[in-house]
Chain A
Amino acid sequence: MANQISDDTIEYVGILAKLELSPQEKERAKKDMEEMLDYIDKLNELDVSGVEPMSHVFPVNNVFREDIPTDIDGSKDALFNAPSVKNGGFEVPKTIG
């Protein structure tokens, strides 16, 4: 079963992933995705009924930290690589809401 990826889907995924593709890149992306999804459809051959999805390979639970604060001023390190800083904060184009 061949997967058909529409222009709308590529557009949509681009919004989700915050990626802007040129028209050629979009065509390429459609083709790539279709191929990959066709291959991934192979998984449908497997009978996975009754199998729990396994997120973590090892059954480790309850890894915690105690509620003890560090007393460090992290501002210098935080801003060190920032492309644009204003008034001690990360400057970004204006957002609404």
Chain B
Amino acid sequence: MSKEYETVIGLEVHVELATKTKIFCSCSTAFGGAINAHTCPVCTGMPGSLPVLNKQVVEYAMAVGLATKCEITRYCKFDRKNYFYPDNPQNYQISQLYLPICRNGGIEIETEQGGKKTVGIHEIHMEEDAGKLVHDEDGDVSVVDFNRSGVPLIEIVSEPDMRSAEEVIAYLDKLRLMIQYLGASDCKLQEGSMRADVNLSVREAGAKEFGTRTEMKNLNSFRAIARAIENETNRQIDLIESGEKVVQETRRWDDGKAYSYAMRSKEDAQDYRYFPDPDLVPVSISDEWIESVRAKQPELPTEKLARYQSEYGLPEYDAQILTGTKKFADIFEAATEICKKPKKVSNWLMVETIRLLKENAMDAEDIRFSPVNLAKLIDLTDNGTVNSTVAKEVFEAVFKEDIDPEKYVEEKGLKTVNDAGALRETVETVMKNNPKSVEDYKNGKEKAIGFLVGQAMKAMKGKANPGMVNEILKELLSK
């Protein structure tokens, strides 16, 4: 007899902030430096080095806190989290335990199964990232790269308010989008600028107490998260049903093998001995500072969503797609600003752009073309310089190489042919070469005209004005 179980999930999300320098030193955070190039005595734990806090980190943390409706802690400190590991140059991580910078916020999500709900945010704190450990293929050794050591992170700890993988993904999506809009991080799961650890427990439906929870790490995609949640839920239920206890532990998810294993080791007591870092002074946040951060806050996704509908008259579905990434929203607004044709811009983004992104396995963030060129193309299409078929071709060039459509059309001779004489000649030739279709049409097969139009377009290399071709054909066919 199987009982009904409820899955209880909380998330710890680490986000790499988009500052130019690390949190406690002036080393660059730029991606792709040579191994150990972006280092200094501070982020390599040299004796005698001291940390100095990057102000921009505090501002980003505050911005995220305000956007997630948290209370900003007016007096916060940094604490040392002490543990030994090679990617941790000081063998302590500077973090915040006792007085994190933000507390008690929430994010609203909506899912099919769960409807609307608010997922609580317990706290947000600032901390430093560790270096990277690369496991060597041909030996019993690993190699440490400290480029990432000291990169600023914020850790966003949710309340255990989620009940399904769907809710988790909705929460992460919303969080990610919001942080991207703030410019605080590019939040890419695959690249590690956003990392989610899942805390999961199960309990009988209706039970008031929480079960023992486990922590799951190494979840590098939404798919992995969803699979891990399902797997862990089942694993815990199985344990309980067979009379065993769930052990509180940290587990590592292996997406290739679709299973997880405990990371526990005798050598790690998990006793972090937190104490206030004596090398750093407290951060005291004034009302004025909070207001200045709030004033700098850009329009957030939910606000844009509403505005796109009210101001541009776009349907909700379209607005959702356009606000779905900051890049889309930015391009949409910039292009619309220039050509003043929101529905047309929206259409180009929603249809052709998305198609090309899929084809080229790209993310919206990878878009390289300029809204100026999109706006130009729209105007060229509207004023008849290019027809809709040619426009698509030109757009591909804009997408791939951000070419100037006006120049491109000129150079490639793609202007629509509107010369009635030239068109008439072509149509006559096409009719002569396709007597069967002509006869079919005359015998009542309306659709045959489409074929003839197609042939005429082909003959003119797509540049004919399709409307005019149609008219001329109809005229000649009725003779």
Known: A55-B77, A67-B19. Is A74-B55 also a contact (CB below 8 A)?
no
**CB within 8 Å of B: which A48-97 residues:** 55-56, 60-75, 77-79, 86-95, 97
The interface residues of chain B, by DSSP majority, are classed as: loop
Question: In the complex, what residue of chain A is closest to B75 when comparing beta carbons?
Answer: A61
A88 touches B36 (CB 8 A): yes
User: Which residues of the partner chain B approach A62 to less than 8 Å between Cβ atoms?
Assistant: 281, 283-284
Chain A residue numbers with a CB within 8 Å of B141 are 86, 91-94
- Give complex CA distance A10, B422 in Å: 97
B252 interfacial by beta-carbon distance below 8 Å = yes
Tell me, in angstroms, the Cα distance from A63 to B58 when the chains sit together. 12
Main secondary structure of the interface of A (DSSP, over half): loop
A18 within 8 A of partner (CB): yes
Interchain CB contact under 8 A, A61 and B35 = no
| B37-79 vs A, Cβ < 8 Å mask (1 yes, 0 no) | 1111100100000001111101000000000000000010100
The total of interchain contacts (Cβ-Cβ below 8 angstroms) comes to 135
Please tell me if the beta carbons of A67 and B21 are within 8 angstroms of each other in the complex.
yes
A40 at the interface (CB under 8 A from B): no
Please tell me the number of chain A residues within 8 Å of chain B, measured between CB atoms: 36
Contact of A70 among B28, B53, B133, B283 (CB under 8 A): B28
Which residues of chain A come closer than 8 Å to B34, judged between CB atoms?
73, 75, 88
Instruction: Say whether, besides A55-B77, A69-B20, A89 and B52 are in contact (CB < 8 Å).
Output: no
Known: A15-B269, A62-B284, A67-B19. 5 other contacts (CB 8 A): A65-B54, A68-B26, A77-B40, A89-B36, A93-B142
CB-defined A-B contacts under 8 Å, sample of 12:
A16-B82, A60-B281, A62-B281, A62-B283, A64-B55, A69-B20, A72-B40, A74-B27, A77-B41, A88-B35, A91-B144, A95-B85
Chain B interface residues toward A at CB < 8 A: 19-21, 26-30, 34-41, 44, 52-56, 58, 75, 77, 82, 84-86, 133-136, 139-146, 252, 263, 267-269, 271, 273, 276, 278, 280-284
